[in-house]
Amino acid sequence: MWKVVSTSREGFSSSMLGDDEFDVTEKLNRFFIDSVDELASSIPAPLGSSADVHMGSDDCIETELIQKYGYPSEIHEVTTEDEYILTLYRIPHGRQGSGINSKPILLMHGLFGQAENYVVSGMFNGSLAYLLADNGFDVWLGNTRGNMHCRRHKRLDPNTKSFWNFSWHEMGMFDLPASIDYVLEKTKTLKLYYIGHSQGGTIFYIMSSLKPNYQKKIILASLLAPAGYFNNFNHPFIDPIIKFVKNMYQVLIDTMYEFPPKSMGLTNLVTNVCEGISFRDLCARVYNMLIGDSSDRVKKDLLPLVLKNLPTVSIKQPLHYGQVRMSGHFRPWDYGKQKNFEIYGTEEPPDYPIKSIKVPIAIYHSVGDNMVNPKDIENICNDLPNCVRRFLVEKPSFNHADFIYDGTDQLNIPILEFMKNFNGS
């Protein structure tokens, strides 16, 4: 029988490493960070660069981005059941609106993402949050544990391994439910709209299937390139890495629990190099290899800012996706047969029961997305009992990141119009 559990209090043992060996890996990790910091300090920021943009250790960058275009902004905090402290940003109405009768909507980012993803493109270049605010929505921008806005806990220190003992399973079990409850309480409403990109779709599947009482709180879920099924995943660079590290999971968890290791120097190094004229094209090519081709505006104007504010994640998040890819099953963390039996009551983790999700779900995906395969989207849509829309962006160069950075008319307008005309219960 499927037991609803949190895996955050399980695992994370350094049993595969002796104390001396673990100490050595910690020292190597520290040496790497210190070396990068020293190298970065020797490289000046390019003239005219945005290197003075705040890294985002507080809430400055988010409110600045919103207020820059004349939108109201608010900062809110919510504490999860397992005591992580999350930051939510709110755009209560558009530039001309009053917020009266605005419909609440929660937007959630993907892996290596944060709330800025939905506003960083600017008012005229595809930022979905501004479009929604100007069209009668009370916009709430969510953040999940571990990103630069959510490195807090009532008891745990973010510089310790115990803080990072989570995957996206815990985000679906704790972060998303807490955020939804908070928004509904503050807006004094019973239901809201939801938009989730990539991992934002993953955690919605988890919450809706394992906490079914939350299904009644969602009017419509619009999932943008949602990550769930990976049977047809064939990324030319990432797929071989997944297969290479499949037997190294525990070592990686024990030695690199925060990924990439937190370093202001690493951030400055990447930003300064990628903003320089000589290396900007090289950085864009690396971006293309990993994410796919994108518009010149994204590569030249947004890429340095995105890299500068790229959050760290728990190493368990990408590794968990790797487990899903290798097993062919969308399911919780696999600890091995013995521990699985202790936690789940079975030797293999049970699949998430997504066929029990009755929430109306609209899925948006693209032929140019090398992270989420159209065939996998078709399969998961067939398994969802109330998949009310499957919208395909047919532009070959529309990649996984373009869903948040370059949506414009080809994506954002269809999302908006479908929500405004949706009459489902």
Catalytic residue ranges? 198, 369, 400
Output the furthest CA–CA distance in the chain (Å, rounded): 62
355-383 per-residue burial string, b: 16 or more CB within 10 A, e: under 16? eebebbbbbbbbebbbbbbeebbbebbee
CA distance 192 to 102: 11
Which residue intervals of 52-161 are DSSP H helices? 60-67, 128-133
Q: Which residues contact 275 (CB under 8 A, 6 or more apart)?
A: 45, 46, 49, 50, 51, 304
| Length of the chain measured in residues | 425
Q: Which residues pair with 197 in a beta bridge?
A: 224
CA distance 318 to 152: 21
- Smallest CA-to-CA distance from 127 within 395, 365, 408, 363 is with 408
Q: Which residues contact 74 (CB under 8 A, 6 or more apart)?
A: 89, 90, 92
